[in-house]
Amino acid sequence: MASSVRFVGAPDGYKYDTINFYQYKFYMGLEQYSYGDTPTLNYDNLGRSAIITGCSAWTVYQYDNYQGGCACLEPSDYNNCYPGFYPDLEDLSDQISSARRGCYCSKVIQPQVGKRLKTGDEFPHAQLFGETKKN
């Protein structure tokens, strides 16, 4: 049974590209979101969970201005633009300072799909960050 509901993404529809960070695991606490490239997040290093809406991946970076370690977060389905749910960012938690639309990193983290979540579930351990791809 749900005790609350939280809107995520753009008000125009779930197929619009957004990245949404939450202060705590399982989308709780403060939220910050972006519709476009963000060289400096409003709340530096805030984020223990995330939701990706739209049809695009997002690259998150350890430091401002797209610097430092990086990782790509993807939607669940590129063709249908289904949201990508990341209930626990694990090693990335509280270490994200900038984000931009598209995947520009060798490290890709897949969203949690089709797994029933309950307290105490273990998630695949993600390597902290990958290397930035050269254009």
Spans of all domains in the chain: 18-109
The superfamily (CATH) of domain 18-109 is Crystallins (2.60.20.10)
Phi-psi region of 45 (alpha: psi -120 to 50; beta: other; left: phi over 0): left
Mean pLDDT of all residues in the chain? 85
Q: Determine the Cα angle at 122 with ends 28 and 108, to 5°.
A: 80
Backbone φ and ψ for 97, nearest 5 degrees, come out as -120, -15
> Residue 89: is its pLDDT beyond 90?
yes
Residue with structure tokens 């401002």? 64
The bridge status of strand 98-101 relative to strand 58-63 is antiparallel
Check residue 113 and give its pLDDT.
72
Q: Whole-model pTM?
A: 0.81
The residue with tokens 């309950």 is 118
SS3 content of the chain, % helix, strand, coil (to 5): 5, 35, 60
